[in-house]
């Protein structure tokens, strides 16, 4: 692409500027292409996912993407905000999908290793999302902080809801617990991440309490959005004969019973 600025300046200067060459590839127009590639790779490489039913995991990802596209069309955010929020939503959706796709591997680990692996998967998806952002402007520079806070909150909310449902499992109760844990952990994780970055960089804000309240509120709102992502996967997963046992196995429940096993 050759860009030339033109304006008639008369005797003050030339009418055209020096040409600027900008190289544009077609894949730049595909948001989060690396995230879609990671999702496809997880579906192809694992032998347990080589079945038609695993395509159901794409339904929540496409639904979440469609909802964000609709919201962006209505409110029309500035391009940098639209790219940052879009990558955040897609990163969390793909990270959640990867957890369901890698369920057999996670379930085969000990609880501690399973938690570490799940956190690694979601943070890896977040990292891929951050790298895919081509405009690291002032508006998008907070993207790593947002994703590194929300991705662990999403994983830990499953662990918290699963632990509280270890004796009695009911789908609606589990969904409500998952939502409560997600909002609470997101509200705590976002300000913790901000103050951790401030401590590492040595740039403390002058008014901590108002900023803390703002980040708590922002974290809770972001957590409510993450809830929609998690519940969309839960709705599909609990109705799938392929995905439902994976959730039960990862949480240490008996997949053939409505009541989880206790230790």
Residue 8 CB partners (closer than 8 Å, separation 6+): 15
Tokens of 243: 């995905």
User: Residue 168: its pLDDT value, please?
Assistant: 80
* Cβ–Cβ under 8 Å, residues 152 and 122: yes
User: Residue 11: its pLDDT value, please?
Assistant: 63
User: Residue 254: its pLDDT value, please?
Assistant: 66
pLDDT digits (tens, 9 = 90+) for 134-152: 555 544 556 777 888 899 9
- In terms of Cα–Cα distance, which of 233, 86, 242, 94 is closest to 157? 233
Residue 113 CB partners (closer than 8 Å, separation 6+): none
User: Residue 129: its pLDDT value, please?
Assistant: 83
pTM of the full structure: 0.81
**Which stretches of the chain drop beneath a pLDDT of 70?**
1-32, 133-142, 254-263
User: Residue 9: its pLDDT value, please?
Assistant: 61
Residue 253 exposure: Cα atoms within 13 Å on the Cβ side = 25
Give residue 221's Cα distance to chain centre: 14
Query: In what helix (H) or strand (E) does residue 230 lie, and over which residues does it extend?
Result: helix 208-237
In three-state secondary structure terms, 2 is strand
User: Residue 185: its pLDDT value, please?
Assistant: 95
User: Residue 226: its pLDDT value, please?
Assistant: 94
User: Residue 195: its pLDDT value, please?
Assistant: 80
């Amino acid at each position: 692409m050759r860009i030339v600025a033109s304006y008639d300046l008369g005797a003050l200067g030339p009418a055209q500027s020096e040409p600027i060459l900008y190289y544009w590839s077609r894949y730049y127009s595909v948001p989060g292409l690396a995230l879609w590639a990671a999702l496809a790779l997880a579906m192809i490489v694992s032998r347990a996912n080589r079945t038609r039913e695993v395509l159901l995991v794409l339904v929540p990802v496409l639904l979440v993407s469609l909802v964000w596209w609709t919201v962006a069309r209505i409110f029309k955010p500035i391009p940098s905000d639209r790219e940052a929020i879009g990558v955040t939503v897609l990163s969390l959706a793909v990270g959640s999908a990867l957890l369901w796709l890698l369920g057999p591997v996670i379930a085969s680990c000990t609880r501690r290793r399973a938690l570490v692996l799940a956190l690694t998967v979601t943070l890896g998806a977040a990292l891929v999302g951050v790298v895919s952002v081509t405009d690291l402007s002032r508006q998008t520079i907070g993207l790593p902080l947002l994703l590194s806070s929300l991705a662990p909150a999403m994983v830990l909310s499953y662990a918290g809801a699963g632990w509280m449902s270890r004796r009695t499992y009911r789908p609606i109760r589990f969904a409500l617990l998952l939502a409560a844990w997600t909002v609470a952990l997101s509200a705590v994780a976002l300000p913790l991440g901000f103050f951790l970055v401030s401590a590492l960089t040595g740039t403390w804000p002058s008014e901590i309490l108002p900023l803390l309240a703002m980040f708590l509120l922002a974290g809770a709102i972001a957590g409510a959005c993450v809830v929609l992502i998690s519940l969309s996967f839960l709705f599909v997963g609990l109705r799938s004969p392929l995905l439902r046992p994976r959730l039960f196995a990862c949480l240490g429940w008996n997949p053939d019973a409505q009541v989880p096993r206790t230790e």
